[in-house]
């Protein structure tokens, strides 16, 4: 028997692999289907057949950061900037709750317009809808995170992007890896459900680095892990970088499911930008969350982190109908719960 098949069996049983074992599996494409099937079995065993839908409101594409891979970088002068007013954000959340969403994600660039008081107002009003509130606002102080939590925020998404410190600091000018990790520690300390994740296929990213990303997610016991394939944006310095990273992104996601069996793992939108069946493939390979865009109008196109973003010409209602249909087509159901991580006995 192929050694890597034995390693997959080990991971399915014990939810533990070393860096060397992860590297071995990541390098071996002959066992991909076996890996994906194992991840799907563990998904079914630990988190069941329900898929949690989390509606994303992308409320500002203004960002003070200058990350080389992101279309929202402050040096990008080719993008039309926007920000939604608090009442608009709250109104979108009301509509989303009406569609049936039980979880709302508030996501933006690092836009300093939204003070602590403004965010507290938005969070507390959305919490009145009886939904879970997730924030994805970038790096903040401990006091800011604390204020958001006291206003009702349940979760926070803070992707590490890569655990390779040198690569991270090359791609994120004037940002430090230690500060990123400080944010994650603070969020854990404050009792948030903490989401993190990485970009797969970055320039100069090694297989060893991807293995260490997976081990990092396990080390911090992340509650949610979002794994996105890197897609070069024509308005960034990495515009000419060539990628072929859909399959390796699914492999990383499947390995994360084996090592963190009860975590929430989304089938990311970027996967469907690379493969028309990307989210269904991801849901069949370990994922249990989908995060449709519930922003309205031209803003759907303007939150242009990467090119080829799907569903930008659809309405939020059309997105709801589309994704629920896809979920039903593979024998899964849409959850009516808030989608909190339920930690399970790994025995």
Asked, for residue 347, whether it belongs to a domain, the answer is no
Do the Cβ atoms of 210 and 24 come closer than 8 Å?
Answer: no
- 136 annotated among ligand-binding-site residues: yes
pTM, rounded to two decimals: 0.97
The answer as to whether 10 is a domain residue is no
pLDDT tens digits for 212-251?
999 999 999 999 999 999 999 999 999 999 999 999 999 9
Number of domains present in the structure of the chain: 1
Predicted confidence (pLDDT) at residue 261 exceeds the cutoff of 90: yes
311 is in an annotated binding site: no
| pLDDT exceeds 90 at position 146 | yes
Summarize pLDDT for 25-69 with one digit per residue, the tens. Answer: 999 999 999 999 999 999 999 999 999 999 999 999 999 999 999
CATH number where 129 lies: 3.20.20.70
Is 234 within any annotated ligand binding site? Answer: no
Query: Cα separation of 79 and 84, whole Å?
Result: 16
Annotated binding residue at 67? Answer: yes
Is 174 part of a structural domain of the chain? Answer: yes
Residue 314 domain flag: yes
Q: Is 63 annotated as a binding residue?
A: yes
Does residue 68 belong to any structural domain of this protein? yes
Range(s) of the domain holding residue 168:
51-334
- Whether residue 30 lies inside any domain: the answer is no
Tell me if 4 is assigned to some domain: no
224 C-beta neighbours (distance < 10 Å), count? 24
Mean residue pLDDT of the chain comes to: 96
295 within a domain of the structure (yes/no) = yes
Task: Locate all alpha helices (DSSP H) within the chain, ordered by sequence.
Answer: 3-14, 19-27, 32-47, 86-99, 116-127, 142-150, 165-171, 177-189, 207-219, 246-259, 269-274, 278-283, 299-302, 316-329
To the question of whether residue 16 is assigned a binding role by annotation, the answer is no
């Amino acid at each position: 028997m192929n050694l890597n098949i034995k390693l997959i069996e080990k991971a399915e049983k014990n939810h533990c692999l070393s860096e060397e074992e992860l590297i071995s599996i990541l390098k071996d494409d002959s066992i991909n289907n076996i890996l994906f099937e194992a991840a799907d079995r563990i998904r079914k065993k630990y988190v069941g057949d329900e898929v949690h839908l989390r509606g994303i409101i992308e409320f500002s594409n203004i960002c003070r950061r200058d990350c080389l891979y992101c279309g929202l970088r402050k040096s990008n002068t080719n993008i039309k900037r926007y920000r939604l007013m608090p009442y608009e954000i709250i109104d979108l959340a009301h509509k989303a709750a009406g569609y049936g969403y039980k979880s709302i994600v508030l996501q933006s660039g690092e836009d300093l317009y939204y003070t602590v008081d403004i965010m507290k107002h938005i969070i507390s009003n959305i919490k009145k809808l009886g939904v879970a509130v997730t924030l994805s606002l970038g790096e903040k102080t401990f006091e800011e995170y604390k204020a958001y939590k006291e206003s009702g925020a349940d979760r926070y998404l803070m992707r590490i992007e890569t655990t390779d410190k040198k690569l991270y600091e090359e791609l994120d000018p004037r940002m430090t890896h230690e500060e990123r990790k400080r944010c994650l520690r603070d969020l854990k300390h404050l009792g948030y459900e903490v989401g993190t994740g990485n970009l797969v296929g970055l320039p100069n990213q090694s297989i060893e680095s991807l293995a260490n990303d997976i081990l990092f997610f396990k080390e911090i016991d992340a509650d949610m892990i979002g794994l996105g394939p890197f897609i070069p944006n024509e308005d960034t310095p990495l515009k000419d970088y060539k990628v072929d990273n859909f399959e390796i992104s699914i492999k990383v996601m499947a390995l994360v499911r084996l090592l963190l069996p009860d975590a929430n793992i989304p089938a990311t939108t970027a996967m469907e930008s690379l493969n028309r069946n990307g989210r269904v493939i991801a849901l069949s390979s370990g994922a249990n969350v989908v995060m449709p865009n519930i922003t309205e109008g031209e803003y759907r196109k303007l939150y242009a982190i990467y090119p080829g973003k799907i569903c930008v010409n659809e309405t939020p209602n059309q997105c709801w109908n589309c994704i629920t249909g896809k979920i039903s087509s593979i024998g899964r159901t849409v959850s009516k719960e808030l989608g909190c991580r339920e930690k399970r006995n790994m025995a």
